[in-house]
Amino acid sequence: MGRSIVRRAGLWAAGAMTAVGVVGLAAAPASAWTGGNVWVNLGSWNCPAGGSVVGVYWAVDAYSSGPAGGDWGDNVIYPRVRVGAGAHNTLSYQTICKKWGWYTYRGVVGQRSLTPYKSGLSYTY
């Protein structure tokens, strides 16, 4: 009888370890994205009444956003984004356009999907 209990305990332990191993192998891998930055260039075609882009209001999901007053001075932004496997970002933006030296107006409102595999990539929209 003593051997029977020891044998049952050994079989139970072996079964439990096998179950733990199977569950561990079946677990889905976690997303491997990290934070990084990409360059986004917004062309003059984002100014429907002519002119060129001189400022941008932007946000990437709830992950990052530009200055509250807009990003001014040129048509380039450098947003913080998710980078790597499983990295999905939605960039929402509105351009500010300049025409005739002094006249500025709100240009295109848009959204773009970014799936960068590494930091430092460049996108043109």
Could you state, in order of their start, the residue ranges of all structural domains in the chain? 1-30, 34-124
Kindly report whether the global pTM for this prediction surpasses the value 0.85.
Answer: no
CA distances (Å), origin 89, targets 33, 45, 80, 83: 11, 23, 10, 9
pLDDT of residue 100: 87
pLDDT of residue 30: 56
Q: Tell me the per-residue pLDDT of 22-47, one tens digit each, with 9 for 90 and over.
A: 444 444 455 689 999 999 999 999 99
Helices within the chain (DSSP H only): 2-26
Question: Which residues make beta-bridge pairs with 109?
Answer: 94
pLDDT < 50 positions in the chain = 19-28
